[in-house]
């Protein structure tokens, strides 16, 4: 499969490595190569099967629009653009392309989301909840997309009208740690996912690209990861 990777950051570089290990041909376009969308013209995308985006919130929506217009499927790991999800979903479906997005492509994190969903029942039994997330000092968005996904999953599962609070920390080289704390007068429940490296993110993103190739529709990775 021919993959175009947008972004030369730490996760993007590992995605490229994993893709090559899995036998794919990959071309990388950083901000210089893709200035003003130069890498996303119909001509440049002609031989591309799937585009993977690990860039920034400021440019990802433009990337999605360009790739969708060119009829190319995408995997989007960039966060911070979810306010546009409704419009982008309509665009992808109207153009007949395929897109998988997620705040986190780690299989472990997606299992963690399901655990948190089950634990949300505690909020009906006198427990209060909090979410804590820690990432490296250079992460551009706060709270993290994964923390927001946790908040949303717990809110929907509990039927609680009040969303539980997220506290964010940016420090050092922390890859990504997410904690859910549920507390009652009698006890305290801790749920934690601690990423030891970005390997899980990269593996999941490449497997998502393999899955979306040739498909149509707008998907959240949490809804399809078990199919992988």
Q: What is the pLDDT along the chain (228 residues), one digit of tens a residue?
A: 999 999 988 888 999 999 999 999 999 999 889 998 999 999 999 999 999 999 999 999 999 999 999 999 999 999 889 999 999 999 999 999 999 999 899 999 999 999 999 999 999 999 999 999 999 998 888 999 899 999 999 999 998 767 899 999 999 999 999 999 999 999 999 999 999 999 999 999 999 999 999 999 999 998 899 888
Domain boundaries, the chain: 2-101+199-227, 107-195
Integer Cα distance of 21 and 199 in angstroms: 13
Integer Cα distance of 17 and 19 in angstroms: 5
Predicted TM-score (pTM) of the model is 0.85
197: nearest Cα among 136, 123, 149: 136
Residue ranges in the chain assigned as alpha helix (H): 10-21, 60-69, 85-95, 107-119, 145-158, 199-212
Taking residue 69's Cβ as centre, other Cβ atoms within 10 Å add up to 15
Which DSSP symbol is given to 209? H
Chain position carrying tokens 């990959």: 26
Domain 2-101+199-227 annotated CATH 3.40.640.10: no
Contacts of 44-47 with CB under 8 Å at 24 or more apart are 45/4, 45/70, 45/72, 47/2
- The catalytic residues are 135, 139
State the DSSP string of 63-76.
HHHHHHHTT-EEEE
Superfamily assignment of 107-195 in CATH? Dihydrodipicolinate Reductase; domain 2 (3.30.360.10)
Question: Per-residue b/e over 26-38, b at no fewer than 16 CB within 10 Å?
Answer: bebbeeeebeeee
């Amino acid at each position: 499969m021919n993959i175009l990777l947008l972004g030369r950051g730490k996760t993007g570089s590992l995605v490229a490595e994993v893709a090559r290990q899995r036998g794919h041909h990959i071309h990388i376009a950083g901000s210089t190569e893709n200035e003003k969308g130069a890498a996303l013209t119909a001509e440049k995308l002609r031989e591309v099967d799937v585009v993977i985006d690990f860039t920034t919130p400021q440019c990802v929506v433009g990337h999605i629009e360009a790739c969708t217009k060119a009829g190319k499927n995408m995997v989007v790991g960039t966060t911070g653009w979810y306010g546009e999800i409704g419009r982008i979903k309509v665009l992808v479906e109207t153009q007949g392309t395929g897109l998988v997005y997620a705040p986190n492509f780690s299989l472990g994190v997606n299992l963690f989301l399901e655990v948190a969903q089950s634990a949300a029942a505690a909020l009906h039994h006198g427990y209060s909840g909090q979410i804590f997330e820690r990432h490296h000092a250079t992460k551009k968005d706060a709270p993290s997309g994964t923390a927001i996904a946790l908040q949303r999953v717990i809110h929907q599962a509990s039927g609680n009208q009040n969303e539980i609070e997220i506290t964010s920390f940016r420090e050092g080289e922390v890859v990504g740690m997410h904690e859910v704390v549920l507390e009652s007068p009698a006890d305290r429940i801790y749920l934690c996912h601690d990423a030891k490296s970005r390997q899980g993110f990269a593996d999941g993103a490449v497997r998502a690209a393999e899955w979306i190739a040739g498909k149509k529709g707008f998907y959240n990775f949490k809804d399809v990861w078990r199919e992988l």
